[in-house]
Amino acid sequence: MKILKERFLALDVFRGMTICFMIIVNTPGSGAEAYAPLHHATWFGFTPTDLVFPSFLFAVGNAMSFSQEKYRLISNSAFLSKIIKRTILIFLIGYLMSWFPFFRLDETGHITGAPISHTRIMGVLQRIALCYFFGSLIVQYLSTKKVILTSIILLIGYWIILLAFGNSDQPFSMMGNAGIYLDKFLMGNNHLYHGEDIPFDPEGWLSTLPAIVNVIIGFFAGKLIQKKGKSFECLAKLMLTGSLLIFIALCWNLVFPIGKKLWTSPFVLLTCGIDLLLISALIYILEMKNWKPVKWPDFFMIFGRNPLFIYILSELFVVILFIIPVGKSSLFGYVNSHFFQVIAPGALGSLLFAICYMLFCWSIGWWLNKRKIYVKV
């Protein structure tokens, strides 16, 4: 069957929406607790915020579906060179972001170097890089049936590994899962994430295995949309598959709980199922009904055209806001306490800051798009 080569607005808007909400949930204002849906689940469970990162991986798979045919026309060495270089670049950028700004201010205000011995090795971009790399290899060299079988093995295999090598009494706990044992063995406590009050990395090595499936399912969704186009057959297949994945996830949840920080296999199926339903809705609204009042898709397209660059900008600039001193606080804290928490005390002020910060990042993307500058990573 002939594959349609045009870009699909729904996929580009989906990618832009993911970046938009990723910035909002990553940069809440200080001075008050954010609304509960804007927090990740403490351990097991699911919130809207938990959908954001897996949706980004799903969008990576969408993008891979457009490049696969091109990759099959080049030599094997050229393909490997391309994806290896991109993987290393994305991973390195993620690592440098965790080290940024490469110095620290001590209690007396003096500048000291940030020791590399205490930098976090894994992270969001690092997981994206690894999932992109292994996902690319899997869909490039395996048949469709073998890709599906590999995905099943990754999901079930991860479950078995946690049961076999985790704490016998609490194999899915934060301190007793096999993933934290592996991360401590490979990297040590100093190179793990310390935002959970204990050294634990939610983007660790072992939990990257099931995350690869988010990319693979996103890839299959992109291929189906290209083949079937703007048709009810396409919508039906996406929606039925999404509903089936959600059903399996909820059943599996009874013995293997849904949890983003452990990136459990049911979590993969749940998030992919929701993403398939969201993509279906966007295709129906944008591609079939052409419902675009006030050109709202254009807003998200700005994020979608420079997704990784805008995400990196959002993460680095907020660090700068934190390190600029203003009195006894930082510029970040001062703006929140003297403006956002004054005009809207509590969670609303925190949300308003996050939205304003997202709009600031969007304005940079708008400026780049206006000048047709697209930063490829």
Low-confidence winner among 77-91, 201-215, 323-337 (lowest mean pLDDT)? 323-337
Residue 48 pLDDT grade (very low, low, confident, very high; cuts 50, 70, 90) = very high
Residue 1 pLDDT grade (very low, low, confident, very high; cuts 50, 70, 90) = very low
pLDDT at 5 over 90: no
pLDDT, mean of residues 226-236: 86
Instruction: Provide the pLDDT for residue 107.
Output: 60
pLDDT, mean of residues 331-335: 91
Share of the chain above pLDDT 70, in %: 94
Q: Where are the domains of the chain?
A: 9-370
In contact, 280 and 225? CB cutoff 8 Å: no
Q: Which helix (H) or strand (E) holds 325?
A: strand 325-326
Instruction: Provide the pLDDT for residue 274.
Output: 97
Residue 237 pLDDT grade (very low, low, confident, very high; cuts 50, 70, 90) = very high
pLDDT, mean of residues 57-67: 91
Phi, psi of 52 (to 5 degrees): -65, -55
Instruction: Provide the pLDDT for residue 293.
Output: 66
Residue 248 pLDDT grade (very low, low, confident, very high; cuts 50, 70, 90) = very high
Instruction: Provide the pLDDT for residue 3.
Output: 40
Interval 64-104: pLDDT, tens: 988 877 887 888 888 999 999 999 999 999 999 888 886 66
Name residue 321's amino acid.
Answer: L
Q: Is 370 exposed, middle or buried (0-12, 13-18, 19+ CB in 10 A)?
A: exposed
Interval 140-166: pLDDT, tens: 999 999 999 999 999 999 999 999 998
Residues 6+ positions from 57 with CB-CB distance below 8 Å: 127, 128, 131, 211, 214, 215, 218
| CA distance linking residue 252 with residue 196, whole number of Å | 26
Instruction: Provide the pLDDT for residue 249.
Output: 97
In contact, 268 and 210? CB cutoff 8 Å: yes
Q: Which residue has the higher pLDDT, 4 or 241?
A: 241
Share of the chain above pLDDT 90, in %: 58
Instruction: Provide the pLDDT for residue 24.
Output: 94
Task: Report the phi/psi class of residue 109: left, alpha or beta, with left for phi > 0 and alpha for psi in -120 to 50.
Answer: left
Phi, psi of 368 (to 5 degrees): -65, -45
Q: Which residue has the higher pLDDT, 295 or 237?
A: 237
In contact, 216 and 131? CB cutoff 8 Å: no
The residue count of the chain comes to 377
Low-confidence winner among 22-31, 50-59, 266-275 (lowest mean pLDDT)? 22-31
Instruction: Provide the pLDDT for residue 109.
Output: 59
Q: Which residue has the higher pLDDT, 98 or 47?
A: 47
In contact, 184 and 199? CB cutoff 8 Å: yes
Prior bond to 345 cis, omega within 30? no
